[in-house]
Amino acid sequence: MKFSDGPIITCSSGIESPSAIAIIRITGFSNLSLFQPLLQLNLNNIKPRFAHFCQIVSEAKVLDDIILLFFPAPNSFTGENLLELHVHGNPLHVSKLISLFSSVLSIREAFAGEFTFRAYRNKKLSLSQVEGLDMLLHAKTPLALDQGVQLLNGSLHKLYHRLYELHLDLKTSIELLIDFSEDVGEDIVRQRYSVALKEFLETCNVLHARVGNFADSLLNPQVVLLGPVNAGKSTLFNLLLGQNRSIVSSTQGTTRDYISDGFVFNDVHFRFIDTAGIRETDDDIERQGISLGLNLANDAFFKIGVFNLQDFDDLSLSGFPSSNFDLIVLTHGEGFTGEFPKVQSGIPYIISSLTQNLVYYFAPIEPVSDSAPIEPVSDSAPIEPFSNSAPIGPVSNSAPIGPVSNNAPIGADNLIKQLVFNKYSALSSSQPLLLRRHRECINRLMFTINSIGSEIHSLDDLAISSSNLQRVSACLTDLVGILPPDELLNNIFEQFCIGK
């Protein structure tokens, strides 16, 4: 690892923009007297964890009025001596102060994640807590935020910890049976083993139920627009963002690279991605753009196929990962007469005019059969506004709705955002484990338990029981993060921001 010992300094509150107060933290020093040359305050009188007002001085000049807090080891975030300086938050000022402390007191500036690494090294945090902290700091969705908190010190942390304790209980029971069964009483130990095992297996099952492969995409939900050239992808992209972000033109192949922008809907940060239109081409650059778009769609949380209704036929979906589309938007729907296109069963679709931002028809479940032509809704007829519980469109073949009147216009943008959010909510409700490493560890744990089979309940051959439990231990220490390899640590700590 690139981290080394000795005192380190950083601004923990971020210096990207001005703020009233910034918090500079210094950890890993042996004695507070180190700071005396720069602080106008008798450091012998500092009371741990109390706020002290003082001044930073250099060459007889006052540089700032600050609040200082001292957290002596081991009762600090890092487990080392830690000093917090609450200074005024101009980024230039903060950088100047950090440089001053570095140069005058020979304190090295910290790397990203180095404070957290020290907390981990000094056993203030387990590896899964470190990952929780990282998730908490970078969360883009309420689900990730919540899971960050749950991992850091909440229910998920408790569940992992309980699993680890139970496995220690199982190990202890076996050790007792091997060495001390006469002293403790064999029946009591066997009883203790089976009670711990029952709770252990139940807890494993609870966690395993939360392993869903889609969870990766919930951490950073991306919505990809894919379709042939000129279908209206960029028009829809701009509509969804509410700004002219992508170039719209009737020239085929206008978008060559992908373009993305974030959008917050119901507190969730979604990322919409406009891609190059798909067509056969000899142009190498265009081909690269198309392939980038297809790759993005593979990993996307929500895939929207955009097609021009006028050109849409049985063959339109061939060549696209159509079965994976979450929604198909058929554009250029002005003057729609009720001749329904053949869309693959099960994929919801919208017939719309993007230039007018209107939805004419929404088939959320099944396309309507030829025998049930759409009834235009008159201006006077009541129109159900779109809601989660009662989507507009034909709920069954017998109840088609459309087109939407001016009294209750339904913008394509709002409808689509709502559909994206509905999928997000549905997937989130199972509380999936968002970190891939955790899902892999839990899968490995379950695989190991299943491969041990009913032997796990038996204590007939203690040598076999002990070796079986050793296999379970290996999976659990991976999950909780005891002695993980350096490479894994590098991966995790590299993601941290400066100051943590």
Q: Which residues bind ligand GTP (CB under 6 A)?
A: 229-235, 248-250, 252-255, 277, 331-332, 334, 353-355
φ/ψ of 445, rounded to 5, equals -60, -45
Asked if 275 interacts with Mg ion (CB under 5 A), we say no
Picked from Mg ion, ligand GTP, none, the partner binding residue 230 (CB below 5 to 8 A depending on kind) is ligand GTP
In angstroms, what is the minimal distance from the CB of 361 to ligand GTP? Answer: 13
* Cβ neighbours of 493 (radius 10 Å): 21
In angstroms, what is the minimal distance from the CB of 228 to ligand GTP? Answer: 7
In angstroms, what is the minimal distance from the CB of 313 to Mg ion? Answer: 22
Of all residues in the shown chain, the one whose CB is closest to ligand GTP is 277
Asked if 76 interacts with Mg ion (CB under 5 A), we say no
Residue 473 CA to residue 167 CA, distance in Å, equals 7
Q: Are 40 and 85 in contact (CB under 8 A)?
A: no
39-47, 194-202, 225-233, 439-447 -> range binding Mg ion (CB under 5 A): 225-233
Q: Return the closest-CA partner of residue 374 out of 337, 329, 411, 334.
A: 337
Please enumerate, as own/partner, the contacts of 28-31 that have beta carbons within 8 Å and a separation of 24 or more.
28/78, 28/80, 28/81, 28/118, 29/80, 29/81, 29/83, 29/107, 30/81, 31/81
* Cβ neighbours of 211 (radius 10 Å): 17
Nearer to Mg ion, 86 or 233 (CB): 233
Asked if 235 interacts with Mg ion (CB under 5 A), we say no
Nearer to ligand GTP, 207 or 317 (CB): 317
Q: What is the DSSP letter of 228?
A: B
Residue 53 CA to residue 42 CA, distance in Å, equals 11
Nearer to ligand GTP, 355 or 490 (CB): 355
The two three-digit tokens of residue 111, written as one number: 């790397």
Nearer to ligand GTP, 89 or 289 (CB): 289
Number of residues lying near Mg ion (CB under 5 A): 4
Angle at 137 (CA atoms; ends 134, 140), nearest 5 degrees: 110
In angstroms, what is the minimal distance from the CB of 277 to Mg ion? Answer: 6
In angstroms, what is the minimal distance from the CB of 388 to ligand GTP? Answer: 26
Q: Return the closest-CA partner of residue 400 out of 352, 365, 429.
A: 365
Asked if 255 interacts with Mg ion (CB under 5 A), we say yes
Nearer to ligand GTP, 192 or 332 (CB): 332
Nearer to ligand GTP, 81 or 255 (CB): 255
Residue 348 CA to residue 295 CA, distance in Å, equals 22
In angstroms, what is the minimal distance from the CB of 317 to ligand GTP? Answer: 16
Nearer to ligand GTP, 350 or 392 (CB): 350
**Rule CB under 5 A: which residues touch Mg ion?**
233-234, 254-255
